[in-house]
Amino acid sequence: MTAPFSATDKPDAPEQHYVTRTGWLRAAVLGANDGLLSVASLMVGVSGASFERSQLLLTGVAGIVAGAMSMAAGEYVSVSSQADSEAADLTREQRELEAHPEHEQRELAAIYIKRGLPKALAVEVAEALSAHDKLEAHARDELGITEHSTARPVQAALASAGSFVTGGLAPFLAVLFAPAAITLPALVVVTIVALAMLGLAGAKAGGARLLPGAIRVVIWGTVAMAVTFGAGKLFHATV
């Protein structure tokens, strides 16, 4: 018979959860994917128009710089809006707690009842958590705002910009160091390999299945490069 659990008992090993990575992981994976695919597609499209290596490299640099700044600005604005909404909700909740504490207490207990706790226990839990930190309890269980899910604009912006640059460097370096005769094949192969690695890394970091994540990224990345190469051929220009 299994011994009852005691408050002093400790698990043999801590459980591994991935929810704490949600914010930065989303921004980092999105940035790296965009950096790799955007820069590679731009360079493949330019290659389709028969431009020289120097023009390919210039395209890569411009794509990396512009894309990183765009990702950082977009992510900062987006996450800032989320942070503003969270702050407004917390301020509103704090006012409600000060003006109607008993009502808010019953509201919190009702949440626990809906989750399956008996009424008496739900009331007891609501009282205990409120005694510890009313706003934290309501933010977590009523508003769904936790320490791990709180919006962090600067963190998201830096993660997006940094990961975009990291992703964009792979195709750029492939063109920089590949022999002139195999520049395009090297660019495509390096990009596909990097896409697969990025898909695997993103799935691993998020605790998801590895192969489906890698396959999705590779398929859509290959399609994107094919389309941009076709566009470069279609609108071929001599400079």
3-state helix, strand, coil in the chain (%, to 5): 80, 0, 20
Q: Where are the beta strands (DSSP E) in the chain?
A: none
What is the predicted pLDDT for the residue at 108?
74
C-beta of residue 33 within 8 angstroms of C-beta of residue 198: yes
Which amino acid does the sequence have at 186?
A
What is the predicted pLDDT for the residue at 111?
80
What is the predicted pLDDT for the residue at 64?
93
What is the predicted pLDDT for the residue at 79?
80
**Rg of the chain taking only CA atoms, in angstroms:** 25
C-beta of residue 33 within 8 angstroms of C-beta of residue 170: no
* pLDDT tens, per residue, the chain with 239 residues: 445 545 455 555 444 444 444 555 666 777 788 899 899 988 988 887 766 788 888 999 999 999 999 888 888 888 888 777 877 877 887 787 777 777 777 777 888 887 777 888 877 777 776 767 677 777 776 666 666 556 678 887 888 888 899 999 999 999 999 888 888 899 999 999 998 888 887 777 666 777 887 888 889 888 988 888 888 877 764 43
C-beta of residue 217 within 8 angstroms of C-beta of residue 35: no
What is the predicted pLDDT for the residue at 172?
93
Cα gap 77→71, rounded to integer Å: 10
What is the predicted pLDDT for the residue at 173?
93
Cα gap 151→66, rounded to integer Å: 24
Tell me which DSSP letter residue 49 carries. T
